[in-house]
Chain A
Amino acid sequence: MGYISIYACITIILSINNIIFYTNIINPLFWGGIFTYLIHDVKHYYVRFSSNKKYLAYTIIVVCVYLIIFFYFGFIFGFVKSPYNHKIGAILENFIIYILPIIGIEFTRFVLVNRNKKNKKILIFITIILILLEIQYNTIKNLYYEKEEFFKYILSNVIPLISYSSLYTYLILKGLYLLPIVCRVIHKFITFTLPLLPKTNWFMIGTIGVISPTIIYVLFKYVFMKQSNDIRKKQKNLGTKISYIITISLSIILVCFMLGIFKYEPIAILSNSMTPTFNRGDVLIYKKLNEDELKKIPKTSIIVYSIGEQNIAHRIVEVIKEKDTILYRTKGDHNNASDLNLVKTDQIKGIYMFHIKYIGYPSVWLYDYFNSEEET
């Protein structure tokens, strides 16, 4: 464990400066060495656990569910072209540089957790060291002065890394020795080999990265509880299980709602241009429209449309018909003049349904904070 801790310090120093020699040579060599060194220990523990066929079945189920979810998101949000080179040589190179260290890390976790099963503090220490080994310090350094991107990166990469790493330590502790390594290698492998990947954004990556480890944790907690003979423990865990199910279900619904999977979607109001109809700090709920509905929006309706990455909710003051195209002139209720540009149907995200007062204020504060940082 001492060597791993020292190597974690070396990783932080070299990775923060994005030294390619470290990423491409030192890191794979180190983990390759660890892999060879630990193979005997891994075999030893593997023989002890391999009799439990049930755990192997659970591993296969989790991997299958992961693959289904991976492609399901692609079908909902679409696919984008993968940036990775798919020639055999490049796949092999990516395997050595990026997948081999993962195998090394998971082997290390497996052996260290099994050696220190009864010492909770050491288990926490092992998990922290393994988290530190995987943080992309150069990215954090690059994004540090771009507050908004830094915020997104921490929530979409570092927090999920902490969640998953904690889960993997827990699963190995409970004897599910194969699950972490199989899940991680398959995830990386399909990322490097598939020509198309699901279209994602930081919010989606971050929420999946927090919710899915929690679901897996709850599921296996339930499995282990069922196997337990302690009736008092079973009754105590039942209440916790219900709270987990409620929290996770509500979290999933909230995330799907925010991502626009449902017909209705929310946006936080950042300006007072529509006062008194709704104000800065309110959350507006709008309904998405189909192609026919987009051409028949009546005058005086409030629409949500986008210009670049900015969403605007203003009222239609004129409907302009030009040959086959419909254009809308919009205006904020509080503004003296109409908006400069006419709104095309492909810019419209939906039509206003109702709003909830004040609950968007945290988003407004965050937006103000990041924008004031950019201005200074």
Chain B
Amino acid sequence: MINNKNLIIVALVIVILIMAVGYSAFATQLTLNGTAEITGEWDVKIINIEAQDVSEGSNCGEPQFTNTSAIFSAELNKPGDSITYVVTIENAGTIDAKLDNITFSPDDENGSPAINYTTTEPSKILNAGERTTFTVTVEYDLETTEIPSIKTKTITGIIEYVQK
């Protein structure tokens, strides 16, 4: 029979092993931007990115996101093509939040110079329990005369809220 002391050792080993297995499975990196992990009270994060109005022949890729950052990789074929991404942010915690920082950085080095982007802003105030959305529209410049061989562009967005 397992006594109390051994039970604690067994429980510790099992929990650590489950965590180790989970950690390997999700391959999470230690590169969260902005704020710490979800706690009960502070829980503001991106919950969804949906591609809308995708021009025919364009590829919206699979947008990736963490709690506070989003990566959009768009492939556009001809001038006039565009993709609109709708990003949803939720405040599921109990603290009201305000927008502190929103920045977008396109990967100009490896992306097409003919592809530009425009964005809208999410709500400046995001009270507990509320959701807000904003859009990132990636467009192939209509006035481009030379068609570059690279047809893709990656844009990284950082969206940080802080306590109101």
Instruction: Give chain A's interface residues, CB within 8 Å of chain B.
Output: 18, 20, 23-24, 77-78, 80-85, 90, 94, 97-98, 136, 138-139, 142, 148, 151-153, 155-157, 159, 191, 197-207, 210-211, 214, 217, 240, 243-244, 247-248, 251, 254-255, 258-260, 266-268, 270, 283, 306, 308-311, 360, 362-364, 366-367, 370
Question: Can you spell out 15 A-B residue pairs with CB atoms less than 8 angstroms apart?
Answer: A18-B92, A84-B42, A85-B162, A156-B37, A200-B36, A201-B37, A207-B16, A243-B6, A247-B12, A248-B12, A258-B23, A260-B30, A268-B27, A310-B27, A311-B27
The answer to whether B92 touches A266 (Cβ under 8 A) is no
Residue ID in chain A nearest B152 by CB atoms? A341
Q: Which of B22, B30, B64 contacts A155 (CB 8 A)?
A: B22
Q: Which residues of B contact A191 (CB under 8 A)?
A: 39
Q: Which of A82, A151, A199, A254 contacts B20 (CB 8 A)?
A: A254
B97 to chain A, nearest CB (A): 7
Q: Which of A159, A240, A259, A283 contacts B15 (CB 8 A)?
A: A159
The answer to whether B30 touches A83 (Cβ under 8 A) is no
Residue ID in chain B nearest A237 by CB atoms? B5
The answer to whether A214 touches B22 (Cβ under 8 A) is no
The answer to whether B12 touches A201 (Cβ under 8 A) is no
A365 to chain B, nearest CB (A): 8
Q: For the complex of A and B, list the 7 residue pairs with the smallest distance between their C-beta atoms, beginning with the closest.
A: A136-B40, A363-B24, A268-B24, A85-B163, A367-B25, A363-B25, A366-B25
Q: Which residues of B contact A151 (CB under 8 A)?
A: 22
Secondary structure at the A interface, as helix, strand, loop or mixed, is helix
Q: Which residues of A contact B23 (CB under 8 A)?
A: 203, 258
Q: Which residues of A contact B22 (CB under 8 A)?
A: 151-152, 155, 203, 363, 366
The answer to whether A81 touches B160 (Cβ under 8 A) is yes
Number of interface residues of B (CB under 8 A): 48
Q: Which residues of B contact A148 (CB under 8 A)?
A: 26
B13 to chain A, nearest CB (A): 6
Q: Is B54 an interface residue (CB 8 A)?
A: no
Can you list, as one digit per residue, whether each of B47-71 has a CB less than 8 Å from chain A (1) or not (0)? 0000000000000000010100001
B66 to chain A, nearest CB (A): 8
The answer to whether A81 touches B35 (Cβ under 8 A) is yes
The answer to whether A205 touches B37 (Cβ under 8 A) is yes
With contacts A83-B35, A98-B41, A202-B37 known, what are 8 further pairs, Cβ within 8 A? Answer: A80-B34, A80-B35, A203-B23, A251-B16, A259-B30, A308-B71, A363-B24, A367-B26
Q: Is B2 an interface residue (CB 8 A)?
A: no
A280 to chain B, nearest CB (A): 12
A234 to chain B, nearest CB (A): 14
